[in-house]
Each structure stands twice: as structure tokens, then as C-alpha cells.
Structure 1
Amino acid sequence: MNQNNYVIIMAGGTGTRLWPVSTSKRPKQFHDLLGLGKSLLQMTYERFLAKFPKENIYIVTNKEYEGLIEEQIEGIDSQQLLLEPYKRNTAPCIAYAAYKIASKNPEASMVIAPADHLILKEDIFHQSIAVALDSASKKDQLITLGMHPNRPETGYGYIQYIPDSATIKKVKTFTEKPEIGLAQKFIESGDFVWNAGIFIWSAKSIIKAYEEYLPDLAEIFADGKSQYFSVNENLFVNKAYTQCVNISIDFGIMEKAENVFVLLTDIGWSDLGNWESLHEIREKDDQDNVLPKNVMSFNATGNIVTTDKSDLVVIQDLHDFLVAEQDGVILICRKNAEKEIKEIVNVVKAEKGDSFV
């Protein structure tokens, strides 16, 4: 195992598109959404533990999830748990991790990965990560993994690459979450891939990018060099985050930088961002339903049902629906109602308060 290689797992998102199972108190990364006896966070952590030194795996999350992390990742050192006092999107959290790790090991290379994604082809994933880390350790490159798209998805970033024989290809354009019309044109062009949100770079390269494109964040976290890995780190971070802009790494750096590269790969990837994507990858019965053992169905097709405490649920004449029960909340709606669920969550929060969301 290369002691210069580090992993930063981002575990601070709330995943409201999978409400009511995923809530602000217990987001989707802490749930066993695949029915495998492990949460998405645990699966992600174990995936990296197979190839990286345990002490080089860091988790960045909101401080309100500290207890959940410690409950699910047994024995993690407190110095490897980076606690954000406020939600400020991905650019600040990656800056925090990068500057902290660089203060300890300036020669570090790092993988940035969300805690809540599914990767079915782990051998290919590890091979791709190894290739990207080797390149990033030798060159000034910001590398992302690119997935071939199969639909005009508006929730992902799109990467247009320069088609050549190189294993790691130069990125021509990087567009974050386009409108549906533009996404359709990207698909039709044939030279765009999805950004999987998994990044690989050296500490030197990403810090250089922050200094050029997000200088305010660079200054904030560079000031913490003497505070990282000390008893004063939390005090410094609490103050630093009051000054941080709310911006993603995609908008803040990847869309602007000239040294962005992509490694095309097929790792069996899904971001499990909504109920429809979860239905796609879960095991289904002969009527295309995803059903727990306590659910009976009659003339029902294409549904996904998840229950928390019910001993028995019966569905009849439902087609392409979601039925989700969690902590006393039941949602019944079309399986593909991603936009509507986000709107429902906002209304529930406004009318019923935070306790249900």
C-alpha cells in the first residue's frame, strides 16, 4: 500500500430525493438501501480499506453526523473524522481535507469519493483508481472518472473529452447539471460522459487550483496549517466555515481549470440519487417489483416498496409506484416523481416542521 495515497469520503449530504427514508437526521449514506446488511457508507469505506492504509482514509461530514459515523465505522481515529459546522457544499469540505492532509504529507495524492454511490465492478474500480493515482502523482492533473451515459440526466455533470488514444483524456468542457434540452444534445453528440463525482489529484495540484480559482477558500484553509492535527483544529474550522462561500467543486474549479482530465471506465456505477435509480439496481420479482418479504402484491408491476415497522403491506393494481414507510411517515407516489418529492419535502418542512424531514 502506497503511504502517499489518501482517500477522502464525503458523507455530509442529506439526500432528500430518497425521502422519507433519507432525512436530515439520518441521510441515505447511513441506510442499508440495498438490503445487504451494510449502509452505503460502510460499503464505501470497506471498498477503500481493501486497497488503502486504514490511517489514510478520512471522512468529512457535518458534525451532527459524528455519532452515526462512529457507530458505523468502528475504531476510526478522531483525526480522520473531519467535522463541518455548517453545510457549505463540496468545495469547502474538499479544501479542508486537502489542506489538512497536505500539512502532514505534502507529497500526498488523494481520491475524493461520495459515501453514497454504488459500484458493482470493484475490481475495475480499483484498477481505474490505481491508473489515475499513478498519473496524478506525476503530473499536474485534476482527474475525474467518466461514465458513459444512457439517458439525458439533468442531475449529473457532463464531461466533453478530446477523443484520442490516451488512457486519461484531456477534458474539453465540463458542464454541471445542464437543462434537459442541453443534456439531450450531449447524449446525441457521443463525446460526452457523466462525471461520477469521483476525483483523483495530488495535494499540490488541487491546492494550486484553489489558489487560482477559489483564492478566498485557499487563504482560509492555508491559515490552518499550524492548527491541523492539534487540539485547536475544531476551533479553527468552526471559525473558518463562517467565512466559506457555498459552492461545489464542480462550479468552483472543474468548470474553470485547464488541467482537467477524465478516465473513461465502466465500474457499474450509480449515484442512487432517487427511487427510480434504486429500483433499477435492486433485485426484482417476475412482475418487476422491488418488495420486502412482508409485502404482498396483486396485479402490481414496476413498483418499489420499502417498509420500516409494518408487519404486512398489501398493494393491488399499482404500476410504477413508490410506497415508502419510515419512522411513522408514509409516502405513496409515482416512482419517477423525483422533482415532486423535492417539492413535497419543502412543503412538509414548511407546514409540519423539521421533525419529519
Structure 2
Amino acid sequence: MKNHYCVIMSGGIGSRFWPASRSSYPKQFLDFFGTGRSLIQQTFDRIKKIVPVENIFVVTNQRYNELTLEQLPELKPEQILLEPCRRNTAPCIAYAAHHIHAINPNASMVVAPSDHLILKEDEFLNSLSNGLDFVSKHDVLLTLGIKPNRPETGYGYIQASHQSLDGFTKVKAFTEKPNLELAKVFLESGDFYW
């Protein structure tokens, strides 16, 4: 477990949930479900069950540094990685991966959005643990996907190949936010995941 790390992406400004979410206090810092815990706190609580707290990092921007430390008091300031500018997912992950690799070249890293609702937490954590074990033995990237239940144009799709290794299926292709017609084809094929 000492080589297991997690990056929680928390740079979003929450514009889709306006007016509840505002750029000064975006959705990841809100308690949407009346649990007494914000989305980022729920993500942190979930991840620390399988990753040591000292190996959890949050990538956000300067504007949310204090709010992140306030909501996640178990983290040290050096565990908050401040993006020099917002550039979306890939640069955020690259920035965090570079930082973690400098600390531990043998690290296996989970990347988690700060604002996901996970209903089947035990299954999710089991999948993450299995994934971390797999990538620590194989030099691969791994992504989790869920079977779509409707054609959706707002999500990216992962096409599974028919090749597998130790129970994990290789990815054939990624398609980012297809049009409705293509999303219907993906759903009907049964080969695609979100």
C-alpha cells in the first residue's frame, strides 16, 4: 500500500450546478445529499480506505487552496497541488503524476474526480484495489468504466476489445462525447462503457 497514491481532481468551478454552486464555492465543496460531508470530503473518506492519507493529493487552483485545507484537515499543505492555470483533465493528471513520480518512482496512482456520487462503495473500492494491484504488476494505464444505461452525449465512451489479461479487458478506443446517433450505436453494441 505504500506505493499506492491518489490524486483528487478538484479544480472545477461548478458552473453547471448554479445557483447552488458558484465559482467562489463550487459543487465539490457542497453537501448535496444532507450527509454533513461535501462531495470532496466523501471522495477523501472513500479513498483513504485503500490509500494511505499521506499519499493522497488534491489538485486544485489557488482560489480553492484554503477551502480545500479547511474541508480536508487531515491533509498537509504540501498535499494540495496548485495548478498554475486551469487546463482541464490531462494536464491536471500529468502535473500530479510528475509530482508523485518525483516522490516515489514506483507509485501506482488512482485519479478520482472530487464530485462523483458512488452508490456501491464497496464494489468501487474493490475495483480500485484490484486495479492498483494490477498496474503495480503490469506497465499499463487502467481506466474503470460502467455499462451505459442510455445513449448519453455528455460522456466519453470507452470501447472494450476482446483481449484481456488477468481479468482486465484491453481498451480498443476512446470516443469523447459522441452525437446522439453514435451514442445509440455504442449502447446497442454492448462493447462500450462510460
User: Do these two structures clear the TM 0.5 threshold for a shared fold by scoring above it?
Assistant: yes
Asked if 1:189 is matched to 2:189, the reply is: yes
C-alpha separation between the residues in 2 aligned to 1:28 and 1:64? Answer: 14
Deviation string 1:228-266 (CA, Å, 9 cap, x unpaired) is xxxxxxxxxxxxxxxxxxxxxxxxxxxxxxxxxxxxxxx
How many angstroms does 1:50 deviate by? 1.7
How many angstroms does 1:125 deviate by? 1.1
Determine the structure 1 residue equivalent to 2:92.
93
Task: Give % identity.
Answer: 56
SS of the aligned residue for 1:146 comes to: coil
Residues matched between the structures, number: 193
Gaps of 5+ in 1: 195-357
Q: Which amino acid aligns with 1:159?
A: I
How many angstroms does 1:190 deviate by? 1.3
Asked if the contact 2:50/2:129 (under 8 Å) is kept, the reply is no
Determine the structure 2 residue equivalent to 1:173.
173
Deviation string 1:305-326 (CA, Å, 9 cap, x unpaired) is xxxxxxxxxxxxxxxxxxxxxx
Asked if the contact 2:28/2:40 (under 8 Å) is kept, the reply is yes
SS of the aligned residue for 2:60 comes to: strand
C-alpha separation between the residues in 1 aligned to 2:35 and 2:164? Answer: 39
TM-score w.r.t. structure 1 length? 0.53
C-alpha separation between the residues in 2 aligned to 1:78 and 1:68? Answer: 12
SS of the aligned residue for 1:118 comes to: coil
What does 1:269-280 align with in structure 2 at a 5 Å threshold? none
Determine the structure 2 residue equivalent to 1:140.
139
Determine the structure 2 residue equivalent to 1:77.
76
Q: Which amino acid aligns with 2:183?
A: A
What does 1:174-253 align with in structure 2 at a 5 Å threshold? 174-194=174-194
Determine the structure 2 residue equivalent to 1:45.
44
Asked if 1:8 is matched to 2:29, the reply is: no
Asked if the contact 2:159/2:174 (under 8 Å) is kept, the reply is yes
Determine the structure 2 residue equivalent to 1:54.
53
SS of the aligned residue for 2:43 comes to: helix
What does 1:294-313 align with in structure 2 at a 5 Å threshold? none
Q: Which amino acid aligns with 1:109?
A: S
Q: Which amino acid aligns with 2:191?
A: D
How many angstroms does 1:13 deviate by? 0.9
How many angstroms does 1:165 deviate by? 6.2
Cα RMSD over matched residues? 1.2
Asked if the contact 2:13/2:23 (under 8 Å) is kept, the reply is yes
- Seen in structure 2, the aligned counterparts of structure 1 residues 65 and 189 have a Cα distance that, compared at 3 Å, is same
C-alpha separation between the residues in 2 aligned to 1:17 and 1:151? Answer: 21
Which shows bigger deviation, 15-24 or 58-67?
15-24
Tell which structure's C-alpha radius of gyration is larger.
Answer: 1
Determine the structure 1 residue equivalent to 2:103.
104
C-alpha separation between the residues in 2 aligned to 1:36 and 1:75? Answer: 19
Runs of 4+ in 1 over 3 A off after TM superposition: 163-166
Q: Which amino acid aligns with 2:185?
A: K
Deviation string 1:51-109 (CA, Å, 9 cap, x unpaired) is 21110000000110011101111141111100113211111111111111111110010
